[in-house]
Amino acid sequence: MIRDRGRIKWSSLMLPEHVTMLRKWAEEDTHEKLKQLDEQKLEMLNEIAGMAMEFGKEVMITRFNDHHYEEVLGKIHYFDPINKEFRVVDKNERVIKISVEKIDQMIIIE
């Protein structure tokens, strides 16, 4: 079995700009892709959001933000139909705007 040092072996021959470009390229490989929602999933999100707003329940929303999925926990305060985004108030009383296109999942927390 041949044991070499991979990219480390060649880094001394590369320009610093090339090294930074290769690191950026390797980082981009870890980026996730935005999933497209179908009609059934949108209808389910609509029902969950309606119930959460009506009864003041706390929800956990999985959203796509900055090439990764993250979870937001809070109460839905308002839905803006013009911009198609939810305004969620978290535990620290911060208002977070979440676009409907960026939502992957929504769960009501009991």
Q: List phi, psi (to 5°) of 97.
A: -95, 125
The three state secondary structure string of the chain is CCCCCCHHHHHCCCCHHHHHHHHHHHHHCCCCCCCCCCHHHHHHHHHHHHHHHHHCCEEEEEEEECCEEEEEEEEEEEEECCCCEEEEECCCCCEEEEEHHHEEEEEEEC
Hunting for tokens 């999942």 — which residue is that? 105
pLDDT digit string (tens) for the chain, length 110 residues:
566 666 666 666 778 888 888 888 888 888 888 888 889 988 999 999 999 999 999 999 999 998 889 999 999 999 999 999 999 999 999 999 999 999 999 999 97
For residue 95, what pLDDT is reported? Answer: 94
Domain extents in the chain: 39-109
Cβ neighbours of residue 65 under 8 Å, at least 6 residues apart? 102
Which listed CATH number (1.10.1030.10, 2.30.30.520, 1.25.40.10, 1.10.357.10) goes with 39-109? 2.30.30.520
Query: What does the block give as tokens for 62?
Result: 């999985």
For residue 6, what pLDDT is reported? Answer: 64
Q: Model-level pTM?
A: 0.73
